[in-house]
Amino acid sequence: MTIAVIDIGSSSIRLSEVNAEGEILHTLRSPLTVTSNAFTETAYDAAEIATTVTALLDQTIERAGGAIEAIALANQRATSVVWNQDSLRPIGPALSWQDLRTAPMCLGLGQRGLHLAPNESATKFAWIIANHGQHVPRSSLRCGTLNTWVLQSLTRGEVFTCDASNAAMTGITDTLVTRYDSDVLAMLELDEHMLPAIVATHGDFGSYTSGGRSLPITASLGDQQASMIGQGILRERAAKVTLGTGAMVDLYLGDQRPSFPRRGTHGSYPIVGWREDTETSWALEAAILSAGSSVDWFCRTLTRSCTPEEIEVLALSAHPSSSAIFVPALSGLATPTWDFGARGSFVNLTSETRSAEMARAVLLGIAHAVADGVEALEREASLEITEISADGQMARNELFLQILADATGLIVRRSRHLEGTTVGAGLLGLHGGLYHEELPSLSRFHRVDRSFEPQWVRGSDRHGSAREAWNRARTVALGQIPALSMVSF
């Protein structure tokens, strides 16, 4: 028995066949068309996403020759779609989680006492309706994150639900993610009928028919939550980092939700890990908005021949005495400062700085930004993390993982499968129905490919000096666009 896993990332859609042991048998991939009209705007064509998912899913089911028995879905969270329920057509662009065009709206709402972040779905829904919904009856408008939109498409409008892990990222639910907050809806001028029912991450999400077979959709959850399962982060004090377009650091907490409602003192925030019936697992998350996107930018803009896959070779040729560092704030800084007006900055450049030193500076800056996230989680949860599991495409870069181990002072363990999101969604879809105390048993499927030991002790003088140099560099990047820096949630 195998399962087809849909994984909608920030730059591509992947369709994989996964077996009951969490092995990826094969994968089809298609790039996402990203529209970026200004430095604050990032959007997708939701209709294209639905069409691409369907085409890849049909090919995967046909290729498997009858082995696939179910479907699971994982997706980038908070990317927002509004559509006409009568036609099942989007009314406007799908706004990416990275899109900052609603920052002025967030600032205005904050002055009225409602604190929302532009990388949550709430203001994105309101913006799309205000700018594209004039000719659609309000009774026909529906809002959802990508999972809800894709489920609507696959089931031809029959299923209108959002799992709790995605609903928690919208900014419009109560703290336990069981219902929508009527006061928030009123301030955003959203009607509750526009929003999907909040459900568990495993269960009945309808079915999809392909080649005469009707396959149940058994799991739907956010990409970072799926990666936690795929990397075996199913026990307290366990943490992982997923290194994609951005980088997300997650710490598993078990059944206890953090006491703060939205953002902690050190810049992390609570997320729903997964939900089985009424049992909810919680985690803390720290966000780095630009990770792989910083590497892509560097290779595309500042080199002629280097690809993201080749940056390791270039960085290895950097002079060891170089102190250059890059602050990866191409779309602002998240944990711990949450400054949407910060911007990317190179610091400590000299006349001897070449592309090799700049390449290493980019990797170094991303690593220290992740270290900020690790430290924020530790302070927020009042515990010490001793190691961190890593997946995502940047985890192929062994130089980066060594730099990350040095920056965090932690052992970094690279997962055998870098697509932890795909593995986790597949395992939940095939083995779901496990209750809270049984879920940790899924960690038995996780395998470590290689471990990277830090070269100096955490808290030592050398480690402390490196962190102090990073903190000075980060200060330079802050507040570059004051209007965006004013947004707070």
Three-class DSSP labels, the chain:
CEEEEEEECCCEEEEEEEECCCCEEEEEEEECCCEEEECCEEEECHHHHHHHHHHHHHHHHHHHCCCEEEEEEEECCCCEEEEECCCCEECCCEECCCCCCCHHHHHHHHHCCCCCCCCCCHHHHHHHHHHHCCCCCHHHEEEEEHHHHHHHHHCCCCCCEEEHHHHCCCCCECCCCCCECHHHHHHHCCCHHHCCEEECCECCCCEEEECCEEEEEEEEEEHHHHHHHHCCCCCCCCEEEEECCCEEEEEEEECCCCCCCCCCCCCCEEEEEEEECCEEEEEEEEEECCCHHHHHHHHHHHCCCCCHHHHHHHHHCCCCCCCCEEECCECEECCCCCECCCCCEEECCCCCCCHHHHHHHHHHHHHHHHHHHHHHHHHHHCCCCCEEEEECHHHHCHHHHHHHHHHHCCEEEEECCCCHHHHHHHHHHHHCCCCCCCHHHHHHHCCEEEEECCCCCCCCHHHHHHHHHHHHHHHHHCCCCHHHHCCCC
What does the alpha-carbon distance between residue 135 and residue 66 come to, in Å, rounded to a whole number?
44
pLDDT digit string, tens, across residues 332-385:
999 999 999 999 999 999 999 999 999 999 999 999 999 999 999 999 999 999
Omega before 258 within 30 of 0, i.e. cis: no
Just give the CATH number of 2-221.
3.30.420.40
pTM of the model: 0.94
Domain boundaries, the chain: 2-221
Q: What is the pLDDT of residue 237?
A: 78
Q: What is the pLDDT of residue 438?
A: 67
pLDDT less than 50: residues of the chain: none
Q: What is the pLDDT of residue 437?
A: 58
Q: What is the pLDDT of residue 1?
A: 87
Q: Which residues pair with 207 in a beta bridge?
A: 216
Q: What is the pLDDT of residue 435?
A: 55
